[in-house]
Amino acid sequence: MKPLKNRVSLTLDEDIIEKIKQLAENDDRSFSQYVNMVLKEYLSKIDRATEK
């Protein structure tokens, strides 16, 4: 079963939006899927860094 997701609203700089759109398209993902993936990876990296 997939985890539940919540809808949120973000305000992002236009250059960030364009870069994420480009990266998401190259990875064959939606904008939302790509943002979610990047945030998960970043938070995991922070968790690993704080465990040291």
Asked if residue 41 lies in contact with residue 27, where contact means CB atoms within 8 angstroms, the answer is: no
Tens digit of pLDDT for each residue in 1-52?
777 889 999 999 999 999 999 999 999 999 999 999 999 999 999 999 998 7
Place of tokens 């364009």: 18
- For 1-52, where are the alpha helices, taking DSSP H only? 14-26, 31-51
Q: Is the dihedral of CA 35, 36, 39, 45 positive or negative?
A: negative
pLDDT at 45: 96
The tokens of 46 are what? 């922070």
**CA 34 to CA 19: how far, in whole Å?**
11
pLDDT at residue number 12? 98
